[in-house]
Amino acid sequence: MRPACFLIASLLALAGICQGQTCGPPTPGDNANVRPEDAKPTYDDKETITLVCDVGYTNQGGSPTITCQAGAWSPVNLRCGRKDCGNPGQVPNGEIHIKTDTLFGDRVTVTCNIGYYMIGQDELLCGDKGWLGRLPVCEVVKCLQAPAVENAYPPSPADDVYTYGQVVKYTCLKDYTLNGSSSLTCSEDKKFKPDPPTCIKVVCPSLDVPNGRWIAGARPPYGYKDFVEFQCNNGFVMQGSPSVRCELNSKWSPEPPVCSNGAEPSKWQPLWLIVLLIIVVVVVTIIVIKYFKDRSRKKRSFPVDGPL
């Protein structure tokens, strides 16, 4: 009976040793997993399986296979890194801004240049299959018909729609003067800037300078920028500018001159008046000081009478 018991015990021990050679599920490492068709609870000794990178990651070196050896898995050499979506492309009249990188999970944003507006989404995400979504389109801003200006010709060029940066020009009708900018530009807010001009009729009043006469310049009626020059008659002196110009407000600038009778006041007169005043003050001061000194001297010259 003893040999039989020994044989049974040996078989049971051998079975236990064989059972200990199997492997459980492996630890595949960062961003990796067991290939779905190789996944199971236990693995036989010397059984080889394949590891694969997670979604969004790619093999960046190392063998993807590991082997069960005497109950332990061979070292994991697979290295998984984030997929690179690469250059997202270009957006005409716009710019692409990379926040961090172009790897799986990263995002890029798009902005349009001044004068352009965006059609589409302004952000793209780097996914497992590349950039998710489509790049937007930057369309040029357009302005509607240019504003009309009274007493002016139609703006040039006369179009129904203008694009960003396009300039229109205005010209007033005859006998009217442009007040403001003659050029307007289609801006980024779809409006023309600056404000449209006005065409006004400038008429300055007739000039009459008593004791003076016209010597040069325009004749009435007087319009914008017309100038007139005057000269005083003999025996009269001019005060003011001899030349005046008709301005946008229909007034003369500067004020018309005046021809007065008598000599022209000297520019030195105020200075002489000041000097004369100073001399008078000095003379009066000297006289007052001398007076008090003489009075004090006379008092000291009287004898002092003692008691009788």
What pTM was computed for the model? 0.62
Question: Residue 26 contacts by C-beta under 8 Å, 6 or more apart in sequence?
Answer: 34, 49, 51, 66, 73, 76
* Total structural domains within the chain: 4
Is there a single domain that holds both residue 224 and residue 268?
A: yes
63 located within any domain: yes
308 located within any domain: no
11 located within any domain: no
DSSP H or E run through 297: helix 269-301
Range of the domain at 210: 202-275
9 located within any domain: no
Tell me if 46 sits within 8 A of 65, measured CB to CB. no
Strand partners, 65: 50
Looking up residue 185, the CATH number of its domain turns out to be 2.10.70.10
Q: Tens of pLDDT along 129-150?
A: 999 999 999 999 999 999 999 9
110 located within any domain: yes
252 located within any domain: yes
Q: Tens of pLDDT along 153-179?
A: 999 999 999 999 999 999 999 999 999
Q: Tens of pLDDT along 27-74?
A: 998 999 999 999 999 999 999 999 999 999 999 999 999 999 999 999
Is there a single domain that holds both residue 129 and residue 156?
A: no
177 located within any domain: yes
Q: Tens of pLDDT along 177-225?
A: 999 999 999 999 999 999 999 999 999 999 999 999 999 999 999 999 9
Higher per-residue confidence, 8 vs 152: 152
Exposure class string for 222-240: b at 16+ Cβ within 10 A, else e: bbbebebebbbeeebebee
Terminus-to-terminus CA distance in the chain, angstroms? Answer: 184
Higher per-residue confidence, 238 vs 290: 238
Q: Tens of pLDDT along 6-22?
A: 444 444 334 444 455 89
Higher per-residue confidence, 287 vs 269: 287
